[in-house]
Amino acid sequence: MTTKTLAPPSVPSGTGSRPRPSKWIWSWTWVGAFAVIALLLTVVGYLGAGVGSGHVGWADLLFESAWSPANSAYGGLAMIYGTAVVCVLALVIAVPVSWGAAVALTEYLPPRLARPLRLCVELLAAVPSIVYGLIGIMVVRPVIARIADVPGGDSLAAAGIVLAVMITPTVVAVSVDALTAVPDRVRETALSLGLTRQEMIRSAVLPLARSGMRAAVLLGLARALGEAIAVFLVVGRADGRMPTSFGEFVDSLSHPGQTLTTKLAGPEPVLAGTTGPYFAALCGLGLILLALVAAATIWGTRGRTRGATTKSAPRYRGSARMRLQRDRMVRTLRLGALLLPTALLVGMLALLVTRGSSAFNPSFWFTSATGAAGGGVRDQITGTVLLIAATGILALPLGFGAGVFIGVHASARTARVLQTLTIILGGVPTILLGLAGFVILSTTMGWGRSWLAGAIVLVPVVVPVIALTTAARVRSIPAELTESAMSLGLTRAQFIRSVVVPYTWPATITGLLLGLARAAGETAPLLFTATVFFGAPALPDGIVEAPVQALPTHIFTLSQDSGDPQAVTQAWGSAMVLVLITAVLLSAAVALRNRFEGERWTT
């Protein structure tokens, strides 16, 4: 009997247990990285081309206040003044409250109380700007009208107050991150030296977190500079008003004004056409606005980076008299500052629930609008969901690819540059995105009002959020996991496919939901590219001349007819529906963040 030696089955050359090559990975990540640059360059190129289409007198645009296209006068000084006034007023109101609330969240409250209160702040950040504008019309304007004895209440002060409420969540959230980054050993060392809690915070914690907290202010300023719709509804939009004395300055706060964003959000960009000195002057205002936002964003992110690496020893300077009394007083003030955003959220929700009670009627969700302000919002909900879904489909692969490129492939310098550009893209005023989409997609390409054009102009709103959250998750991959993967002989592309993608997808989905929550409330881009107030079908049957109805623009149109009680009721109900949709997206994002925060991928 002969025996045979069992031999292993032959394996064709070129195959084995190694993962298959993943050449497509690099194409995907490079496309994502270039998409960020291309989107930013598109906005800048549109504005640059507009400026080049006609003569722009920069000296007049920057230093003259008269704006009269009929007389070929294009002075933007009054708009720059209005922008500066409302932003400074917003910062004066918001910064002390926000810093005090952030310190209270991190230094005074136990985690079981700090976490739900932080969620309240995040919910405020997710409230669509059109809702803030509606609240400004119904609440802030009447207060200004009574206090200043001016009709209507449209004023720079009303715009500053609305902006202060809007930027408070941003300043609180970034300041909390900066304070949390201070090591606990710094606090323990300061307390062991006999300092009170207030002295420990002032002498040990704040010096280390100061740069990050300043960055929070600058990032809040970037949002204030770029806000259009909420300010548009309450500022009054009066051209050419410039004070010449301190008394006139004080008086101007309670009277209508104009800002850069409200000028661009009005009807003039459509009336100006696409060439000529009128259009060039408007594009020049857009370049000034973009430069201001970019400067605030770069300065803010630079401050955060430096603040994260600054080292200093705890130091205390002050009198020993009444130490405990000062400590109690400061603690009371900071806890009071924390109560203000919480009370604001509760009051806003109470206002929405009481005035938007029609949103709790199922027929309001499932019936079409009738007339100017009747019926339900079925078609508006359908259009909003369509825009959100299309935006998510377009933005997810681009943002994920850019985030992976920043976190894995790019060198340290390239990653810093690309991350800064991504943050600038996220801070581009959405009114500029809408104007660029109107000229490029609706006019030049002949799409007209198109749901796809609306989704495309919302992509730059969502891509930066996905890219930044993905890049942050990539950087948190444990070093031993990376070393183990590389020791198995994986190429970098295979490492991305087999390790990075499974590890980062929870953060990517969270970023997607956060980005879509913001996009759901955007109004300015859709006004120029995608939506109409009535007459559009629930679902479009094409791309060219295929508009939709959407909740943000529906609320915007109704809110301008505040003298009609039926329109006001419809606006509040629509606002409640929009807030509920946004809250669902944000709650899903927060749940994913809490579920996977700090979780290590080990399978």
Per-residue pLDDT at 372: 66
Question: Quick check: is 18 in a domain?
Answer: no
Question: Quick check: is 184 in a domain?
Answer: yes
Q: Are residues 156 and 283 in the same domain?
A: yes
Distance CA 335, CA 104 (A): 6
Q: Are residues 187 and 88 in the same domain?
A: yes
Per-residue pLDDT at 319: 52
Q: Are residues 585 and 448 in the same domain?
A: yes
Q: Where a domain ends, among 339, 354, 369?
A: 354
pLDDT in tens, 378-406: 999 999 999 999 999 999 999 988 888 88
The more confident residue out of 518 and 215 is: 518
Q: Are residues 451 and 347 in the same domain?
A: no
**Contact (CB, 8 A) for 169 and 121:** yes
CB burial of residue 581 (10 Å; 0-12, 13-18, 19+): buried
Question: Quick check: is 361 in a domain?
Answer: yes
Give the least confident one: 331-345, 349-363, 368-382: 331-345
Q: How many domains does the chain have?
A: 2
Q: Are residues 290 and 395 in the same domain?
A: no
Q: Are residues 347 and 381 in the same domain?
A: no
Question: Quick check: is 14 in a domain?
Answer: no
Strands 67-68 and 73-74: antiparallel
Q: Are residues 431 and 297 in the same domain?
A: no
Q: Are residues 371 and 407 in the same domain?
A: yes
Distance CA 456, CA 452 (A): 6
Tell me the percentage of the chain whose pLDDT exceeds 70.
86
Closest by CA to 227, choosing from 148, 145, 304, 127, is 127
Per-residue pLDDT at 390: 94
Q: How many CB atoms lie within 10 A of CB 553?
A: 26
Per-residue pLDDT at 210: 81
Per-residue pLDDT at 310: 42
Per-residue pLDDT at 307: 42
- The whole domain housing 183 covers 59-308+326-354
Report the amino acid identity of residue 240: G
What average pLDDT does the structure give for the chain? 80
Give, as one character, the DSSP assignment of residue 548.
B
Average pLDDT for 86-99: 90
Q: Are residues 296 and 373 in the same domain?
A: no
Question: Quick check: is 204 in a domain?
Answer: yes
| Residue 237 confidence class, pLDDT cut points 50, 70, 90 | confident
Give the least confident one: 323-332, 444-453, 592-601: 592-601
Per-residue pLDDT at 21: 53
Per-residue pLDDT at 20: 54
Question: Quick check: is 11 in a domain?
Answer: no
Question: Quick check: is 447 in a domain?
Answer: yes
**Contact (CB, 8 A) for 217 and 170:** no
Question: Quick check: is 117 in a domain?
Answer: yes
Please say if the pLDDT value at position 471 is more than 50.
yes
pLDDT in tens, 114-129: 777 777 776 777 678 8
Please say if the pLDDT value at position 416 is more than 70.
yes
For residue 340, the domain's CATH number is 1.10.3720.10
Please say if the pLDDT value at position 552 is more than 70.
yes
Per-residue pLDDT at 227: 82
Q: Are residues 235 and 362 in the same domain?
A: no
Per-residue pLDDT at 161: 92
Closest by CA to 423, choosing from 226, 230, 588, 282, is 226
Please say if the pLDDT value at position 305 is more than 50.
no
15 token code pair? 């195959």
Q: Are residues 266 and 122 in the same domain?
A: yes
pTM of the complete model beyond 0.85? no
Give the least confident one: 21-30, 198-207, 351-360, 430-439: 21-30
Per-residue pLDDT at 248: 86
Most confident listed range (255-264, 333-342, 467-476): 255-264
Average pLDDT for 546-552: 91
Q: Are residues 40 and 185 in the same domain?
A: no
